[in-house]
A and B are shown apart, each in its own frame.
Chain A
Amino acid sequence: MRVKSFLVAALFAVVANATTNITWWHAMGGRLGEVVNQLADNFNKSQSEYKVIPVYKGGYEDTMTAGIAAYRAHKAPDIIQIFDAGAATIINAKGVVYPVADLFDKYGTKFNANDYISGVRNFYADSKGRMIGCPFNSSTPVMYYNKDIFKKAGIKNPPKTWEEFEKDAAKIKKAGYIALSQSHSPWIFAENFHSRHNLQLANKNNGFDGLATKIYYANPAMEYHWSKLRDWINKGYYKYYGRGWADNQQAFYDQKVAMWLGSSGSFGGLKKGAKFNFGTTYLPYWKKFIDKGAQTFIGGAALFVFSGKSDEKYRGINAFLRFLTNPKNQYFWHKETGYVPITKAAYELAKKDGYYKRTPDAEIGIKQLSLPSQKWTKGYRLGNYVQIREIMVEEFEKILNGQESAKDGLETIDRKADKLLVRFARTHR
């Protein structure tokens, strides 16, 4: 009985398996994961040759780790979502990925790098501007603030600069709240801090011109900022809820803190879950160090295609990527998640649809990304950066804890990071 039904099922499987499966490993959990599944569903329903199967592998680090392990075991998926910190590692690994620019060329998708907004374009491209990874979810750090608490504290507008923040924080403290929490020290208070203040991050043009060997986090602006953070902890203006993204966001949900620095991509979840009025605004900057805050760059991730797959699969991947970069789908992704529309066309579509008139908050991220670019607002391309971020978080924790001065902590980061960068450079000679 069992054998029979097994044979019948096998027969069906063989016949029905005319579709090519495309596995897509991603790091989008919770609500984001639902939208991912919806996108895949929509694509699968729109045609019958290919079936995209999204697989959630955990956070960005876990997804990358799983991808590396799978590749080494010759069991890599077809598409993988790799985040900003991992970009250098995967781009510099010889022969591991099939650059999307080449893929599009071969399978006939018209593709122009200039269709992408400037903050997005260069991050996943090679030195000649050819895209290796396909930007998918891009976000930038923005500030969310609790309008109700602001009202109680008697503050009309959210602070534009950190100087203004300090004044507001005192009022918020009086009203019985903590002024600030943030969810990602390296991304928000180091990488984008540099961008916002137009400060160089690493040598070799932030790593875009070659394998960088020196990082520049120990500088007067960072020292000032991190000393201030420690100061604010003592004053009760800022609280560090640990290194978990969700823990620091939870404080904002729980209405313990008035302002939260998160990602423009957090918008979707906040919209659904927050039980209070909140607003979105730009990431503050120090007027002391720059007159007008500069452009930030993208965080988030891109989709990379592994090499060594069949022609049939590449056709399918090509079709799927084209589907994803279609303005309509981009707009859908943007609306549902808060990630920025990465093509100009998608941005125009959203504007035309009146989306930003209805929800002006949703435009903050892309507006911040569209500020005029300056010398050091391009982002970075650094190897071993996942470990470097680990070091950064550890030293930052020591600074916030008062165990180290900001100067010492930042110098330690530079010293340790340089070692890792040199190691990476040596590996890829």
Chain B
Amino acid sequence: MKKISFSSLFSHFILIIFALLFLVPIWVVLASSTHTPVTILRDGLQFWFGDNFINTYKSILFEHSGYTKNVTAFRMLINSLILGFGFAIGKVVISSMAAYAIVYFRFRMANFLFWLIFLTLLLPVEVRIVPSFEVLSKLNLLNSYTGLIVPLIASATGTFFFRQFYKSVPDEMLEAAKIDGANSWQFFIDILVPLSKTMMIALFIVMFIVGWNQYLWPIMMTTKPEYSTLLLGIKEIYQSNFEGTYLPEFNKAFAMTILALIVPVAIVIIFQRWFIKGLVDSEK
């Protein structure tokens, strides 16, 4: 009896310590964001809330900041949302369609196309970032939502995800549908899609996070502040604050950091089950 309770106490202890290791830095940033910059400069990072909350958050959301002073964090929030949603939707739709073709059809280029798609796993964006810039500029897609979203859909992860799922769908479904006289389009829309609803939601959530958290791509592909995402905004505020000879506005930098992480974190926590499904099932 004693042995068991000690080891389980120990497990809890370890888990709590590590949980704190993750929580405390975020907490400190959150708490510090509610103080004035003077306090932070003078007393360091804070562990409890101050009274500058409304002031700080109001100013970054609605005051124009950043380089040209014509962009608010609110605008950047919208951009991040657009990037997250656009990318996730695009990914789900396009990968499910591509996977459908590869799994459910016998056609000549199937194998070649499969390998082509697989090839994209080889090269994350960072490696082809400079020529990607050239391509986007030739297509006049710099500083556009299309340019921000569409090229990122080139990677194969979603397609493999759906391929795996479709392979697990029993053949009987297709046989039955064929007997009923359904064509391939009908089968897809009326049977397969409803069946994959959970998977689609799962993938959507994972991809939303990926889209929202894009960093290098928006940096390179936008030169106008109106297209800045929240992540870029933080970087700019942080940089411009620390370069000038003024008191760095830590509270604003912290507040934006919180804004940048609260949306994806909330989504992951609220939609935990789907999220895990989306991650874990894409492995197989």
Direct contact, A vs B (beta carbon within 8 Å): yes
Is B145 on the interface with A (CB-CB < 8 A)? no
Q: A66-B223, A69-B133, A73-B137 are in contact. Are A56 and B245 (CB under 8 A)?
A: no
- Mask of B37-80 contacts with A, CB within 8 angstroms, 1/0: 00000000000000000000000000000011000000000000
Cα distance A56–B67 when bound, in Å?
5
Known contacts A59-B243, A245-B243; 13 additional CB pairs below 8 A are A30-B244, A30-B246, A56-B240, A57-B67, A58-B236, A69-B220, A70-B223, A72-B133, A73-B137, A73-B142, A74-B137, A246-B245, A266-B245
Contact A58–B239 (Cβ < 8 Å): yes
Nearest-Cβ distance from residue A354 to partner chain B, whole angstroms? 26
Interface residues of B (CB under 8 A from A): 67-68, 133-134, 136-137, 142, 220, 223, 236, 239-240, 242-246
Q: In the complex, which residues of chain B have a beta carbon less than 8 angstroms from the beta carbon of A74? A: 137
Cα distance A273–B67 when bound, in Å?
22
Q: A29-B240, A246-B242, A273-B245 are in contact. Are A55 and B133 (CB under 8 A)?
A: no
Pick from B67, B239, B240, B242: contact of A55, CB below 8 A.
Answer: B67
Contact A72–B240 (Cβ < 8 Å): no
Cα distance A57–B239 when bound, in Å?
11
- Mask of A226-244 contacts with B, CB within 8 angstroms, 1/0: 0000000000000000001
Q: In the complex, which residues of chain B have a beta carbon less than 8 angstroms from the beta carbon of A70? A: 223
Interface residues of A in 236-287 (CB under 8 A from B): 244-246, 249, 266, 269-270, 272-273
Q: In the complex, which residues of chain A have a beta carbon less than 8 angstroms from the beta carbon of B242? A: 244, 246
Q: In the complex, which residues of chain B have a beta carbon less than 8 angstroms from the beta carbon of A30? A: 240, 243-246
Contact B137–A249 (Cβ < 8 Å): no
Interface residues of A in 54-92 (CB under 8 A from B): 55-59, 66, 69-70, 72-75
Q: In the complex, which residues of chain A have a beta carbon less than 8 angstroms from the beta carbon of B239? A: 58
- Mask of A355-372 contacts with B, CB within 8 angstroms, 1/0: 000000000000000000
Is A31 on the interface with B (CB-CB < 8 A)? yes
Contact A29–B243 (Cβ < 8 Å): yes
Q: In the complex, which residues of chain A have a beta carbon less than 8 angstroms from the beta carbon of B223? A: 66, 69-70, 73, 75
Contact A58–B67 (Cβ < 8 Å): yes
Cα distance A30–B136 when bound, in Å?
33
Contact A246–B133 (Cβ < 8 Å): no
Residue of B nearest to A77 (CB): B223
Nearest-Cβ distance from residue B97 to partner chain A, whole angstroms? 32
Q: In the complex, which residues of chain A have a beta carbon less than 8 angstroms from the beta carbon of B220? A: 69
Q: In the complex, which residues of chain B have a beta carbon less than 8 angstroms from the beta carbon of A269? A: 244-245
Interface residues of A in 196-219 (CB under 8 A from B): none
Contact B246–A273 (Cβ < 8 Å): yes
Q: In the complex, which residues of chain A have a beta carbon less than 8 angstroms from the beta carbon of B246? A: 30-31, 273
Q: In the complex, which residues of chain A have a beta carbon less than 8 angstroms from the beta carbon of B134? A: 72
Give the 8 A-B residue pairs with the shortest CB-CB distance, closest first.
A30-B244, A269-B245, A73-B137, A56-B67, A29-B243, A29-B244, A273-B245, A55-B68
Pick from A55, A73, A272: contact of B245, CB below 8 A.
Answer: A272
Q: In the complex, which residues of chain B have a beta carbon less than 8 angstroms from the beta carbon of A72? A: 133-134, 137
Residue of B nearest to A271 (CB): B245
Nearest-Cβ distance from residue A344 to partner chain B, whole angstroms? 29
Q: A56-B67, A58-B67, A70-B223 are in contact. Are A75 and B137 (CB under 8 A)?
A: yes
Pick from A75, A249, A270: contact of B142, CB below 8 A.
Answer: A75
Residue from the set A56, A73, A74, A269 with the largest chain B CB neighbour count within 10 Å: A73
Nearest-Cβ distance from residue A157 to partner chain B, whole angstroms? 27
